[in-house]
Structure 1
Amino acid sequence: MKDTLGLYYHPQAGNPGVRVYVRREPDGSVAFRLWRQDLPEAWERHGWVPYDVLESASRLYQAERNPEADPLRLYDIRVAEALLQEEGR
């Protein structure tokens, strides 16, 4: 889907109040940005984050806080790549 902020998907089925925006960076990597209806200031406070940074942060979180957690559930690289590919057509 796409709106004035960019290309996005809903990472939580049935919850349209959370969106993950995706874009292709100049170096070809994929970056993500979270938007939450219940926390609009998050969009302004947190910029675009490259996927490799999210992967590193996820591993650190699992190692230091909760090995069972999967922080990458919101940031799905396969969905992002599919959206970007479709947009490029």
Structure 2
Amino acid sequence: MKDEKGLYYYPFPHNKRIRTYVRQAEGTIWFRLWNSDVPEVWVEHGWVPYGAIKQASAMFKSNDFDPNQAYDIVLAQALLKEGG
């Protein structure tokens, strides 16, 4: 899907209030979260390269949030190929 912010997908399909935006730049895929319930997330957190997400996800342990689901590289690649 695409809107004025760019290409996005719903990382948690049951929750349409959260979107993961994707773009390709500098030879890598970048991600950025948007949450309608917490709009400051978009303002305070910029674009994050996939390599940094992989490094952080190795250290991140939580039952409430799965970075690999929120930042799905396979889905991002397909979305960029289709819409980018």
TM-score (norm 2): 0.90
Q: Which runs of 5+ in 1 are unaligned?
A: none
Residue 33 of structure 2: aligned partner: 34
Residue 84 of structure 1: aligned partner: 80
RMSD of aligned Cα (Å) = 1.4
Structure with more contact order per residue of length (Cα contacts < 8 Å, sep ≥ 6): 2
Structure 1 runs (4+) deviating above 4 angstroms are none
Between the aligned partners of 2:66 and 2:35, the Cα distance in structure 1 is: 19
Q: Give the counterpart letter for 2:80 in structure 1.
A: L
TM-score (norm 1): 0.85
Residue 57 of structure 1: aligned partner: 56
Q: Give the counterpart letter for 1:71 in structure 2.
A: P
Deviations 1:39-77 (A, max 9, x none): 001100000000000000011224xxx6xx742221000
> Identity percentage over the alignment?
50
Aligned residues: 82
Residue 3 of structure 2: aligned partner: 3
Q: What's the offset of the Cα at 1:14?
A: 2.1
Between the aligned partners of 2:49 and 2:28, the Cα distance in structure 1 is: 7
2:16 is aligned with 1:48 = no
Residue 73 of structure 1: aligned partner: 69
Residue 16 of structure 1: aligned partner: 16
